[in-house]
Each structure stands twice: as C-alpha cells, then as structure tokens.
Structure 1
Amino acid sequence: MSVAAGDLRAYLRLLAGQIWHDQDDAFHHGLTLQEETLTETLLLKMARDFSPLGLEVLMFNKGQEGENGADWEWFFDGPECSVGFRIQAKVLKRGEGSPGKYAQLGKPAGQTQKLIDDAKKYGLNPIYIFYNHRWVQNHHLFGPSVQPDWFGRSCWGCSVATAEFIKGISDTKGNPDKNLATVIKGSRPWHRFFRLGKTCGTQKATEHMPGGQEFRPRSPTPEWVIMLREFRSANEEVRRETMDRVLTDRDVQGVALITSRQEG
C-alpha cells in the first residue's frame, strides 16, 4: 500500500500548524517547549494518526538524556522511496523585541559539519528541522513560499533546510548565522520537502533547495530498522538494552521508522 502524496502533504501541514499553535499556547502559560519534546510529540502523533494513510510509525528514544548527541534518524521505507535522514531539530527563540534567532544552532561550533559527516557515514541525508512560531519581530517572513501552495503562516510551524545550506551560512569556525532572516532563505515548509508518495519527490525538493546538497536516494537500511521490527514483541528490558546500545553507538537521541510497505 502506498500513501497518497496529497494526503501526506495535507497531514504534514496540519502537524506543522499544531507545532505553531502549541508553542503559542505554551508561551501564554509560561512554558518553552524544547526540541526533544517537540520532536517526540510529533512522532507520537504521527504514530497515532498515520494508519488511515496507509503508513506505520515505529520509534524509539534514549532512556537517559545527555548521554549522546541530539540527532535523530528517520527512515522512510516505501516501495518507491527507501531513504533515511540524519536530523538536527532547532527551535526559534521567542522574543517580540528580537528579529528572530534559532536557539543553539551550531552549538558547539562545527556541529553542522559533524551532522554532515555522521550522515555520510551511514548513507543518510543530513537536514535541519526548525520549529517556528509568530513570537518574533520578523514573523512576516513566514509568508507564501510558493503559489498556489499556501495555507497560512502556520504551515511554517515545521520547516526544513539542508545541512549544506546551514554550513554555507557559517563562519570560519563553523558557527552558523542564527538569524531567521538568513535561515529562511534556505528553508521550506516541511510539507513541501517530505514528498513521499509513489515517487520520491523529496529528491527533487532537495535538488531545488539552496545549498547544493547531494541527495542520497537509496539509503542502506540501518540496523535499528531491523531491530525495531524484530523487537516489537520482545521483553521490554531486552529491547531497551539492545536499542540503547545501538543508539549510543550511532550517537543519536532517537529513531523513527515510517513505512508504507506491507509486510508478508
């Protein structure tokens, strides 16, 4: 079964809107949602909601924080598109008196190059996912990215830029320009990036994005994908011990398998 591209695109727009509005609500209640929280919330909602679209989501995160990198690996496994991503998530800092900057982008210095190197090591595509909101001076920059594919500013709640673009806006020490006005020039709403239906439209999206990043269309299947499938019925203690070891070895905080391939 393959997910209809239009259904997935519409669903991703809804998720982006939820991130946009959740941050709005959080700010009103005196909260700041961190990258890890937003990422895990997104994946949990996807796991709950994707079945009607013909997709299954399996995921796993580290039981202990701070033991390894904040990267995530996502692997999309479908009949026409089997591709993986190494992901860094960053949140737009709140500040009505600020033009808009991304928290901890490029911290420590050289983080972007490490993301690129780690992705290359495993045959994955290195990208950034940005969680956005309206609580900055330059919120007007969240305007139409392309016509007629425009559904209001909230579709910018989740946006994507390639790691090569972020590297290109970095200084000689590897510190990227954190300003929204700079980052958005290489960003796209994520519903325009994750175009994974009967064809792998994500490759075309990457090729048309600033940064000149090469797309790896057929990623080797990570060992954690096999383990996620095999350990679904395993003892929880055994499953966690094994998966924690794998995630530590790969230096990631979590993984997610999104598949539209029916298994026999």
Structure 2
Amino acid sequence: MVLSVGALRRDMNDLAVETWRKIETGDEQGLAFGENSLTDHNLWTLAQKHPGLNVHRFSQNREKETGADWEWWIGSMAQGWLCLRVQAKRAYRRTYPELDHAGNGDDDYQYDTLINSCDLLRGEYPLHVFYNGWKRKYFGHDSGWAAPAKWRACSGNAGPGKCWHAHPVHYGCAVASSFAVKAVHDLRCSNRRMVTAHLSWALPWSYLFGRSRLGRRVRTGAAEPKVATATPEWLDWVQANLDSLVDELPADADMRPRLPGSTQTDDRRQRRAEQLPAYANAVRRGTVQDSLQEISFMSPVASCVIVLDIDAEERGEADNHTGGSLDYEAWKARQGDLG
C-alpha cells in the first residue's frame, strides 16, 4: 500500500489541531488528556487513514530503560531503516513539568536516557513531541503564538498570523530534537521548562515528512523531492531533514553532537539500520500476535511502535490476521433499505 505523503502531512496537521483543542478546552472541563491517551489516539487515527502504516502497542517493553514513549520505523528492506524514537511531553499552563522526570540508572533526566538509547550511526534519532494548547491571548500575542518563542514554521520568515504555511494550532503536536531539549533544560535557568524556551527549537510535527527548508536559517542540504508518495528519494530527504534538526542547537549549548561523514546521500544511507528488530518486523507484517514467542527475547524499546515500509506495494505483502473489521456501514445501509 503506497503512502500518500501529502495526505499524511495533512492528517498530521489535522491531528495537531485536534490535540490543541483537547488541551485548550479539555482542562477547563476537567478532561485533562494525558500524553498516553493523546499518543494512542493520534497514532491510531493515522493508521486508520493510511493502511500503509502499521501500529501496535505492546504491554511488555523497555520504555523505562530507553525513555521512549513511541518509535516510528521508516524505510524498507532495500533502502534500510530510520528510527524516530520519541518522548512525548504535554504542556501544563506555561511549562512542560515532566521534563524534570528522572532518568534511568545514572542518567540525570529522562531525555538523557532517550538520547543514550539512540545511535545516530544506525539512523536512530531522539525526538521530543510536545502536546500544546491554550487560549488565543494566553501568552499575550494576538495570533495565539507563545511569544517570545521563535516562530520557525515559515520558509519565508513571516511571523505567526502572517505565515501562510502554518498556524499556531499546528503546534498542537510540535517536534524538536531531543539534543535541543537537553541543551535548553541543562542550562539550569529559570525558564528551563518553559513552553516559550522549547518551542523556539520546535516545528509542527508534519514538517518531519515534507518541507523544503526549516525556516530561513535551517537548511536540510537536500531539495525536497516533488513526489506524491513515499519513495527512496523521499526517505533520503527525511533523513537530511532529521540531520538538520540534530545540527541546530542553541548557541550556548554545552553538547554539540556531530554526525559522522559527509552529507551526501550515499553516506547517509550508510547510517541506517539494515534490518528491523524482530518486534518492529512483526508490526510491519501485522503478525504480532502470532510472533509473541519469536520476539519475546527482545522487548520493544517503546510501548507503541509504528512502521512505514515504503516498498510495501512492491512486496505485495498485506498480511492481516484479524479477519477484517465488522462492516457497520453496510449494516446501516441495509437497515435503510428495509425501512
């Protein structure tokens, strides 16, 4: 099943808006949607709309050891695999209080554990997805933006309210490199948990999969392919995009990770996993329930796993052992005919 990149980005933007509304109005109604419920809903919705995405939540996983709430594997057996390993944090009022969450073992913070679980040489990227939502003038800016955070969503450098590329509510699901999150939080300053400090390094999460550049100052080093579906060229661009997130950090950051080698496409392809771990391959094939014994020796890194195989249609694989969904719409239509 070929994935429509444009449709995926649109649906991610729609989910960002929905997430924003849930937080903006839900808290007032005593319905404080948590990180897990928001993640489950968003990934389930993407999987329902895009059959090329395979999603599974595991009850046994190594989340405490890795700090990952979910991970996204993108690629193919022929092209290799990229892993987006994600830690989700929800905004409460003006801060992300859970950034203070302690890490595993000797790690100071949970984001340290996440970063240490990733290997850039194997295409494993640590990311934070921030769930946001607030009233329009909550931060004093008429556009609804969290001023004084930088607005990085416009390739033309237009500010919120004037930008045609994104609206502040598209930051309902905002993505940032975990290296940038660490750089800000490790400064030990008073705003280390503030929404405004971290959104300066964030983008709408849909930008992971389709932007020619990330603001005026951040370039991917590769032109975004003008393709409608997920292809090897698109995968190359996604990796260049992820590399750009790793490279840009606050000027006063103590730690500056450097990606090895050149930024040529062939060199980037060397920095990918050749094979999926057993649990992710079971998700890819839709055979998790049949493979529990096979994957029991290697617990998933995160509780929720999503896999996109860009060669799925060429493989002709559409494994589905659930027997199909109950056809409620057909039942309703039949009731109408009878009436």
TM superposition score normalised by structure 2: 0.63
Letter in 2 for 1:104: E
Greater displacement, 130-139 / 140-149: 140-149
User: Whose relative contact order is higher, 1 or 2, with alpha carbons under 8 Å and at least 6 apart?
Assistant: 1
How does 1:143-222 map onto structure 2 within 5 Å? 145-146=153-154, 147=156, 149-171=164-186, 177-195=192-210, 197-198=230-231, 199-200=234-235, 201-209=237-245, 210-211=248-249, 218-220=272-274, 221-222=276-277
Task: Output the CA distance in 1 between the equivalents of 2:164 and 2:240.
Answer: 16
Aligned to 1:246: 298
The answer to whether structure 1 residue 111 and structure 2 residue 116 are counterparts is no
CA contact (8 A) 1:12 1:190 kept: yes
Change (3 A) 1:183 1:120: same
The answer to whether structure 1 residue 232 and structure 2 residue 287 are counterparts is yes
* Alignment gaps of 5+ in structure 1: none
Task: Output the CA distance in 1 between the equivalents of 2:288 and 2:296.
Answer: 17
Q: CA deviation at 1:115?
A: 0.9
Backbone CA RMSD of aligned residues? 3.4
Task: Output the CA distance in 1 between the equivalents of 2:129 and 2:288.
Answer: 32
Change (3 A) 1:230 1:205: closer
Q: CA deviation at 1:179?
A: 0.8
Letter in 2 for 1:197: A
Larger radius of gyration: 2
Aligned to 2:306: 256
Aligned to 1:130: 130
Q: How many residues align?
A: 250
In the TM superposition, what whole-angstrom CA distance separates every residue of 1:10-61 from its partner, at most 9, and x where no partner exists?
Answer: 221112112112223422421211111111111111111113xxx2323223
Change (3 A) 1:4 1:159: same
Aligned to 2:53: 56
Change (3 A) 1:141 1:76: same
Moved runs in structure 1, 4+ residues, more than 4 A? 63-70, 78-81, 212-217, 241-245
Q: CA deviation at 1:80?
A: 5.8
Change (3 A) 1:63 1:24: farther
Greater displacement, 210-219 / 84-93: 210-219
Task: Output the CA distance in 1 between the equivalents of 2:281 and 2:244.
Answer: 32
Q: CA deviation at 1:182?
A: 0.9
Task: Output the CA distance in 1 between the equivalents of 2:166 and 2:57.
Answer: 32
TM superposition score normalised by structure 1: 0.78
Change (3 A) 1:29 1:6: same
Task: Output the CA distance in 2 between the equivalents of 1:247 and 1:149.
Answer: 43
